Structure 1
Amino acid sequence: MGKNKFHDGPGPSQRQLRVGELIRRSLSEVLARGDVHDPDLNRLSITVGEVRTSPDLRIATAYVLPLGGEGKDEVLKLLARNKSELRRIISRKLALKFAPDLRFQLDETFDRMDDTRRMLNQDAVRRDLDE
């Protein structure tokens, strides 16, 4: 089994969590204000749920979701297409020593919450929980 560089050891350090949150806020702000020179990206509302950084802070993976969940593939393509401009803007805003390589993945947290909610509403599960 290969090692996952985001989940080795006891979990992310305070520094990783802090930098990830700073990047998340900045990225959210940049996308909300339409600071990127791409009209296709600027017309979309994108939620940045979380940003996880590698231990050396050189890779930042942003978990994103378009508003309403529509056009997920398009959002990933547009973000990838504008990755270098987003990286430049974020690094300038945060004055980081190294601009992290930005990567984008779909945030599936809401899908998992819906699945859990559906499961908990099944008659057999509710019956087991009530006992």
Structure 2
Amino acid sequence: MESTRQKKISRLLQREISEIFMREAKSLTLGTMVTVSKVRISPDLGLARAYISIFPTGKRDEVYSEIEAHTSGIRRHLGMRVGKQLRVVPNLQFFVDDSLDYIDNIDRLLKD
């Protein structure tokens, strides 16, 4: 069960990481659209798991490996943005959110 503080920080991190992907880290996205669908933060606020959707899905593996390789730079940009609001900037882990693909697959199966 997430506390109110965890929920607030998760929303803040989701918004700021999305802004980073749109502005500072455009080179990492390789011309794709990267959205942060959810951020979950640990109870000690030391680890944030960000779930990202990558569209179009053709370059998903390339973009994900670029993001993974530059996680420390993304965390540095995040620290510059939320440094006044958080005492410690959490470590970041990125996961590919494939729920949109799952929904698309179900729709396609139901239409047949």
Normalised by the length of structure 1, the TM-score is 0.72
Higher strand share: 2
Contact 2:28 2:63 in 1 (8 A): no
Q: Is the aligned partner of 1:58 residue 2:51? A: no
Rounded to whole Å, the distance in 2 between the matches of 1:55 and 1:39 is: 32
Q: Is the aligned partner of 1:21 residue 2:11? A: yes
Q: What secondary structure does 1:98 align onto? A: coil
Q: What secondary structure does 2:104 align onto? A: helix
Q: Is the aligned partner of 1:109 residue 2:103? A: no
Shift of 1:29: 0.7
Contact 1:31 1:42 in 2 (8 A): no
Identity of aligned residues (%): 31
The one of 32, 35, 51 equivalent to 1:44 is: 32
Normalised by the length of structure 2, the TM-score is 0.83
Rounded to whole Å, the distance in 2 between the matches of 1:64 and 1:107 is: 5
Deviations 1:39-76 (A, max 9, x none): 34363321111111111111111111212222221122
Aligned residues: CA RMSD? 2.2
Q: What secondary structure does 2:50 align onto? A: strand
Which of 1 and 2 has higher RCO (CA within 8 Å, sep 6+)? 2
2:72 aligned partner = 84
> How many pairs were matched up?
110
Segments of 4+ moved more than 6 angstroms: none
Q: What secondary structure does 2:56 align onto? A: helix
Q: Structure 2: state its 5+ residue gaps.
A: none
Which structure: larger Rg?
1
